[in-house]
Amino acid sequence: MRRTTLGRTGISVSRLCLGTMMLGAWGNADHDEAVRLVHTALDAGINFIDTADMYSAGESEEIVGKALKGRRDEVILATKVHFPMGDGTAPAGSPAVVDPNRGGNSRRWIKREVENSLRRLGTDYIDLYQIHRPDPTTDIDETLSALSDLVREGKVMAIGCSDFPAEELVEARWVAERRNHVPFHTEQPPYSIFMRGVERAVLPTAQRHGMGVLTWSPLASGWLAGKYRTSAGLELNDFRRELIPHKFDQSLPGNARKVEIIEELVKLAADSGHRLTHLALGFVLSHPAVTSAIIGPRTVAQLDDLLGAVDVVLEDDVLDRIDALVAPGTDLNPSDADHTPPALADAALRRRPRAERGA
pLDDT by residue, tens only, the chain of 359 residues: 899 999 999 999 999 999 999 999 999 999 999 999 999 999 999 999 999 999 999 999 999 999 999 999 999 999 999 999 975 444 445 555 457 889 999 999 999 999 999 999 999 999 999 999 999 999 999 999 999 999 999 999 999 999 999 999 999 999 999 999 999 999 999 999 999 999 999 999 999 999 999 999 999 988 898 877 665 556 666 666 556 667 767 777 777 888 889 999 999 999 999 999 999 999 999 999 999 999 999 999 999 999 999 899 999 999 999 999 999 999 988 888 777 888 888 888 888 887 777 75
The one-letter amino acid at 320? D
In a 10 Å sphere around its CB, with 0-12 CB exposed, 13-18 middle and 19+ buried, how is residue 286 labelled?
Answer: middle
| Interacting residues of 138 by C-beta distance below 8 A, sequence separation 6+ | 104, 105, 106
Cα distances from 149 to residues 102, 103, 112, 304, 332, in angstroms, run 20, 19, 13, 39, 40
Confirm whether 52 is domain-assigned. Answer: yes
In a 10 Å sphere around its CB, with 0-12 CB exposed, 13-18 middle and 19+ buried, how is residue 171 labelled?
Answer: middle
Confirm whether 322 is domain-assigned. Answer: no
DSSP 359: -
Confirm whether 99 is domain-assigned. Answer: yes
Q: Distance between CA 67 and CA 36 in Å, rounded?
A: 8
CB 287 within 8 Å of CB 281: no
CB 85 within 8 Å of CB 99: no
Where would I find the H helices in 68-216? 107-121, 140-153, 166-179, 202-208
pLDDT at 143: 98
Summarised one tens digit per residue, pLDDT across range 72-91 is: 999 999 999 999 997 544 44
Distance separating the N- and C-terminal Cα atoms of the chain: 66
pLDDT at 347: 87
Confirm whether 80 is domain-assigned. Answer: yes
What is the largest distance, in Å, between two alpha-carbon atoms of the chain?
Answer: 72
3-state helix, strand, coil in the chain (%, to 5): 45, 15, 40
Confirm whether 168 is domain-assigned. Answer: yes
Confirm whether 330 is domain-assigned. Answer: no
Domain count, the chain: 1
| Backbone φ, ψ for residue 36 (5° rounding) | -60, -40
Range of the domain at 204: 3-223+283-314
Buried b / exposed e over 8-28, threshold 16 CB at 10 Å, is ebebebbbbbbbbbbbbbbbb
Confirm whether 62 is domain-assigned. Answer: yes
In a 10 Å sphere around its CB, with 0-12 CB exposed, 13-18 middle and 19+ buried, how is residue 114 labelled?
Answer: buried
What SS3 class is residue 49?
strand
The one-letter amino acid at 283? F
How many CA atoms, within 13 angstroms, populate the side-chain half-sphere of residue 218?
Answer: 31
Summarised one tens digit per residue, pLDDT across range 123-144 is: 999 999 999 999 999 999 999 9
Our CA dihedral for 225, 228, 234, 239, rounded to 10 degrees, sits at 20
Q: For this structure, is 55 an active site residue?
A: yes
**Nearest alpha carbon to residue 217 among 172, 284, 160, 273:** 284
Confirm whether 276 is domain-assigned. Answer: no
pTM for this model (two decimals): 0.91
Look up the CATH number of the domain holding residue 7.
Answer: 3.20.20.100
